[in-house]
Amino acid sequence: MMQGMAAGFGAALGGGLFPNLAQAAPLIPSNSKRVIFFMQNQGFAPATAIPAGMKNSGSLAKAKLPEPIEALEPFKERMHIINGLHGTHTSPSHSPFFGALGGYRGGDGVAPSGSTIDYELSKVLPETLLPHLCVGMDSIENMRAKPTVANLSASGAGQPIFMHSNPNHLYEMLYGGISEGDIRKQHEARSGMFDRIELLAKAKGGELPVTDKPRYDQFVQGFNDINGLRERLGSVSGHLRKFAPEVDEGYVNPEFETDWHDRILDLGISALKSGITNVLTVGSGRGEIFGAWKGLGVEQQGHNLGHMKQPDNPIWIKIRQYNSRMLVKLMEQLESIPEGSGSMMDNTLIVYTSNNADSQHTSGNNWPVILLGNYDGAFKTGCFTQLDGKRPINALYTSILRASGVDCDRFNMSERMAAKFDSGTGPLKEILA
């Protein structure tokens, strides 16, 4: 029972459910920088992001955005489109999985070889109750059937980070203590059970063989994390009431997977607005080749979508437009919350790209990225930058770390690797303000 419960909440996976929760601050911070990674699966074709006719770096002011991302047109002054980064060293093919945010070689069934950029940022940005939140979107069947590892995020070598895909479970975790009715009853029942299991586990773990203790200790730590987060959230329940989304029929009886996609995004937004977290990773297709959008009228799903050309494809236009509307909602919601002399969006960076470079079955020669927001003035906006294909995605992550106050020249890339895969060192000067 212990193994099944802990695995169900991701605690059996080395990094724990909340890898650096022990260091998390008990209070809600203010004026924090925050970063959001929105990772679309199965590739990001350059033609779906770059305005027609733009071959060289320049302003977006007079450019018209492609149809798939036209919803972002009113936000061009906050946008930076980057083309010409590469990820050949990640061996993406169907996906490099953890390598997309880790900047290292990955693959299906391959454990992460190091921490990913989202986790590293959660350590250096102002501490929050939940340092890093990872949510994933998939077909309704997969979101219902199984909790999942985020095959995008890791806290270290062999330490995947759990991804939340069921909005009911995530709501109960974040807001169960201030809810009513069935959600409150479920929260209290689980809380009492977790307390008892943690005590029992601590008492009985010493009787296990030495070879079993390390893995068993991971289970114990998982329940300790759950209980610790519950107590921390309870300490700021009055504050959280201002931000908890309303539970509607879409949580309990979703007609399509997009009903749950929308609500899992709402929960991610509420976690940012309330200050529960300042690093959010959104995995469309949960960082693999899965994914479904029947709610948009798209009957094709999963792997088959990756075999369709994206430019001028009505199916992919619908999916990209849906993603763009999600990005607009993120920006508008953060813009609505005052912070300092501006809004939360003024201190936010959204990184919109794919876990799979430019396409499914890719070499990773080109990895398009859209940045939204200037991160308190750290990044140039309102422009398009065409790079020469000689700098890796690691350089982008180095740039974000630099803008976050970390003095580093490379992210997850040794000098030996850099000699082969990186023509420069340090951040991307072309994108920093």
pLDDT at 2 (0 to 100):
44
pLDDT tens digits, 363-416: 999 999 999 999 999 999 999 999 999 999 999 999 999 999 999 999 999 999
CA–CA separation, 195 and 230 (whole Å): 11
pLDDT at 402 (0 to 100):
97
**Stretch 28-37: mean pLDDT, rounded?**
80
pTM (2 decimals)? Answer: 0.88
Assess contact for 403 and 395: CB atoms under 8 A.
no
pLDDT tens digits, 291-334: 899 999 999 888 888 889 999 999 999 999 999 999 999 999 99
Proportion of the chain above pLDDT 90, given as a percent: 62
Those residues whose C-beta lies under 8 Å from the C-beta of residue 415, and which sit 6 or more positions away, are none
Q: 16: pLDDT confidence band, cut at 50, 70 and 90?
A: very low
Q: 8: pLDDT confidence band, cut at 50, 70 and 90?
A: very low
pLDDT at 180 over 90: no
Assess contact for 404 and 428: CB atoms under 8 A.
no
pLDDT tens digits, 263-280: 999 999 999 999 999 999
pLDDT at 398 (0 to 100):
98
User: How many C-beta atoms lie closer than 10 Å to residue 259's C-beta?
Assistant: 18
pLDDT at 204 over 70: no
pLDDT at 5 (0 to 100):
41
**Stretch 201-205: mean pLDDT, rounded?**
58
Those residues whose C-beta lies under 8 Å from the C-beta of residue 183, and which sit 6 or more positions away, are 168, 171, 172, 175, 176, 247
Burial pattern 294-311, b for ≥16 Cβ within 10 A else e, equals: ebbebeebbeebbeeebe
CA–CA separation, 358 and 25 (whole Å): 38
Q: H or E segment at 84? A: strand 79-86
Between the alpha carbon of residue 213 and those of residues 12, 95, 198, the distances in Å are: 12, 34, 15
Closest among 52, 79, 77 to 351, alpha carbons compared: 79
Proportion of the chain above pLDDT 70, given as a percent: 80
**Stretch 17-46: mean pLDDT, rounded?**
73
**Stretch 424-430: mean pLDDT, rounded?**
96
pLDDT at 74 over 90: yes
Burial level of 83, CB count in 10 A (0-12/13-18/19+)? buried
Burial level of 173, CB count in 10 A (0-12/13-18/19+)? buried
pLDDT at 51 (0 to 100):
96
pLDDT at 233 (0 to 100):
78
- Residue 382, sorted as left (phi over 0), alpha (psi -120 to 50) or beta, turns out to be left
Ordered structural domains, the chain, with CATH:
30-171+254-421 (3.40.720.10)
pLDDT at 348 (0 to 100):
97
Lowest mean pLDDT among 118-122, 224-228, 375-379, 389-393: 224-228
DSSP H stretches of helix in 84-212: 99-102, 117-124, 140-145, 167-175, 181-204
- Angle between helix 167-175 and helix 257-274 axes, rounded to 10 deg: 20
CA–CA separation, 335 and 318 (whole Å): 25
pLDDT tens digits, 335-346: 999 998 999 999
Q: 7: pLDDT confidence band, cut at 50, 70 and 90?
A: very low
Structure tokens at 366: 């080109």
Phi, psi of 408 (to 5 degrees): -145, 150
pLDDT at 177 over 80: no
More reliable by pLDDT, 219 or 308: 308
